[in-house]
Structure 1
């Protein structure tokens, strides 16, 4: 029984850590996309101002 609980704990912690890492990567990707979109909007605004 003790061995089972030890294995379950290790498995749970490993899964938890993996989820945190995946979430962190997803947040990273989102921030990169937001930066990219902001830069695109800035570029578009600059072009728009130059046109008019």
Structure 2
């Protein structure tokens, strides 16, 4: 798997969870924003499960 394919697969995976983060390569990923979005998903799941 090439780096470009990895980036595309990661974007598809994130999009499937409602995360519309866009980036062209792994260095462009804003990890702070990514962690914030993951936290929101966990919070949403936690609220749904209660």
TM-score by length of structure 1 reads 0.41
Q: Which has the larger radius of gyration?
A: 1
Name the structure where helix makes up a greater proportion of residues.
Answer: 1
TM-score by length of structure 2 reads 0.42
